[in-house]
Amino acid sequence: MDNRPIGVYDSGFGGLSVWRELYRALPEESLIYLGDGKNCPYGSLSEERIRELAEKAVGELIERGCKMVVVACNTATAAAINHLREKFSFLPIVGLEPAVKPACQLSRSGRVAVLATERSLQSEKLRMAVERYATDVEVIKAVGRGFVEAVERCEEQSEATEKMVSEVVEPLIEQGADVIVLGCTHYPFLKGVLRRVVGSRDVRIIDSGEAVEKRVESLLDRYSLRADEENEAKYEFLTYADEEYRERLRRKAFDK
Ligand code: DGL
């Protein structure tokens, strides 16, 4: 039994979509969430800069006693996961990958769309996933321009956000995509708007939250890291932004 916390890291609020899955499925596990906030969005930063930021953040979570770290950010995973696993090879580090495999299995039209940040869409990880799983499926890639910023401003429900989402998503549906993969951990917070845009059309929206949670469980078992069933979990929220941002992180985490 190991009651040390699991660290969860993202550029900002997005990783809370993964945090919520862990919170729901693993109530005995303590969690420390680090949402950078100061350098968000990461999507347009250089790979080198993201690696630097990710190393600092993961290093901090380890210093605070985490037994495992989840890089709950597709962009940071794409840019830094190999580097992080080399640097901190003594503990398990889980990364995020867009759900290309299940999307291809679900699609009936033979066209799926991956929505992500520019950097994630250009990544080797996505290229490999497409090569491996989308053998007879066409993958349309689209940047969710402005999506991360809208979630950071907590404007998921505004009219302007719906218009912005619609402008990106409509063309994907028009091109025949019947599965939309959310390849950025901020985007699940826009699911309500996405569903409104999709309306009654037969289009599925999927993300990686649950798959990551399952991966965390399998690693907890593999390395005998599970917390005691009786453990009273603690939840901590950290940021490089200010106290107000930290408070918003906490509120968003527990928001229904
Ligand atoms: N949550 C990050 C991701 O999954 C957002 C990237 C950003 O900060 O631009 O890609």
Question: pLDDT tens digits for 182-199?
Answer: 999 999 999 999 999 999
What is residue 70's predicted lDDT score, i.e. its pLDDT? 98
Cite the active site residues: 73, 184
pLDDT higher than threshold 90 for residue 249:
yes
**What is the whole-number distance in angstroms between the Cα of residue 49 and the centre of ligand 1?**
14
Query: What is the per-residue pLDDT across 207-218, written as a single tens digit (0 to 9) for each?
Result: 999 999 999 999
Residue 72, ligand 1, Cβ within 6 A: no
Sheet harboring 179-182: ordered strands across? Answer: 138-143, 111-116, 179-182, 204-206
**What is the whole-number distance in angstroms between the Cα of residue 30 and the centre of ligand 1?**
24
**Band of residue 44 on the pLDDT scale cut at 50, 70, 90:** confident
Query: What is the per-residue pLDDT across 161-184, written as a single tens digit (0 to 9) for each?
Result: 999 999 999 999 999 999 999 999
What is residue 217's predicted lDDT score, i.e. its pLDDT? 98
Q: What number is the average pLDDT over the span 201-212?
A: 95
Residue 184, ligand 1, Cβ within 6 A: yes
pLDDT higher than threshold 80 for residue 56:
yes
Q: Would you call the peptide bond into 188 cis, given omega within 30 degrees of 0 as the criterion?
A: no
**What is the whole-number distance in angstroms between the Cα of residue 74 and the centre of ligand 1?**
6
Confirm if 131 and 156 have CB atoms less than 8 A apart.
no
Residue-by-residue DSSP string for the chain: ---PPEEEEESSSTTHHHHHHHHHH-TTS-EEEEE--SS---TTS-HHHHHHHHHHHHHHHHHTT-SEEEE--HHHHHHHHHHHHHHTTTS-EE-----HHHHHHH-SSSEEEEEE-HHHHT-HHHHHHHHHH-SSSEEEEEE-TTHHHHHHTT-TTSHHHHHHHHHHHHHHHHTT--EEEE-STTGGGGHHHHHHHHTTS--EEE-SHHHHHHHHHHHHHHTT-PPPTT----EEEEESS-HHHHHHHHHHHH--
pLDDT higher than threshold 80 for residue 256:
no
**Band of residue 220 on the pLDDT scale cut at 50, 70, 90:** very high
**Band of residue 50 on the pLDDT scale cut at 50, 70, 90:** very high
What is residue 87's predicted lDDT score, i.e. its pLDDT? 98
Residue 116 CA, closest ligand 1 atom number = 10
Residue 40 CA, closest ligand 1 atom number = 8
20, 185, 190: which to mutate for ligand 1, most atoms within 8 A of CB? 185
**Band of residue 255 on the pLDDT scale cut at 50, 70, 90:** confident
| Residue carrying structure tokens 């006693």 | 65
Residue 41, ligand 1, Cβ within 6 A: yes
Mean pLDDT for the chain? 96
